[in-house]
């Protein structure tokens, strides 16, 4: 499945379109955020926060965002973040599942 085909991609496009200063512009993958959709630096920061919250992502560092200029690049960034967050949750779950638990007392031991 490509970025263009996923439900996440559609959701990202929808959020970008809803926040774009130029509401009439299409949110195709090759559209540039600043030049084509009219985003300025403040609106880009707001978009970042909206995407982090909408997809339950950790905060992006400025270095993560360097070079992200087009809708398709935003989609790739979000999908990568979602996959990374899911992998981290699986690792945390496995780590907690692998820890031995103290045995619970039996009913007989509890009544003594």
Sign, CA torsion 13/75/64/22: negative
Average pLDDT over residues 48-54: 95
d(CA 64, CA 46): 16
For residue 32, the SS3 value is strand
CA 62 to chain centre: 15
pLDDT confidence of 1, banded at 50, 70, 90? very low
The pLDDT of residue 83 = 85
The answer to whether 65 and 22 are in contact (CB under 8 A) is no
| pTM (two decimals) | 0.74
The pLDDT of residue 54 = 95
Average pLDDT over residues 55-66: 91
The secondary structure element, H or E, covering residue 15 is helix 7-19
pLDDT confidence of 27, banded at 50, 70, 90? very high
- The structural domains of the chain, ordered by start, are 3-111 (1.10.1200.10)
The pLDDT of residue 47 = 96
End-to-end CA distance of the chain: 61
């Amino acid at each position: 499945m490509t970025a263009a085909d996923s439900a996440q991609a559609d959701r990202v496009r929808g959020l970008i379109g809803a926040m774009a200063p130029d509401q009439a512009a299409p949110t195709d993958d090759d559209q540039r955020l600043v030049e084509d959709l009219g985003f300025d630096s403040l609106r880009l920061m707001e978009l970042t926060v909206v995407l982090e919250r909408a997809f339950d992502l950790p905060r992006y560092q400025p270095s993560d965002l360097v070079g992200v200029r087009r809708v398709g690049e935003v989609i790739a960034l979000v999908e990568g973040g979602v996959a990374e967050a899911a992998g981290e949750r699986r690792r945390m779950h496995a780590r907690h599942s692998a820890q031995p638990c103290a045995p619970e007392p039996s009913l007989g031991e509890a009544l003594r």
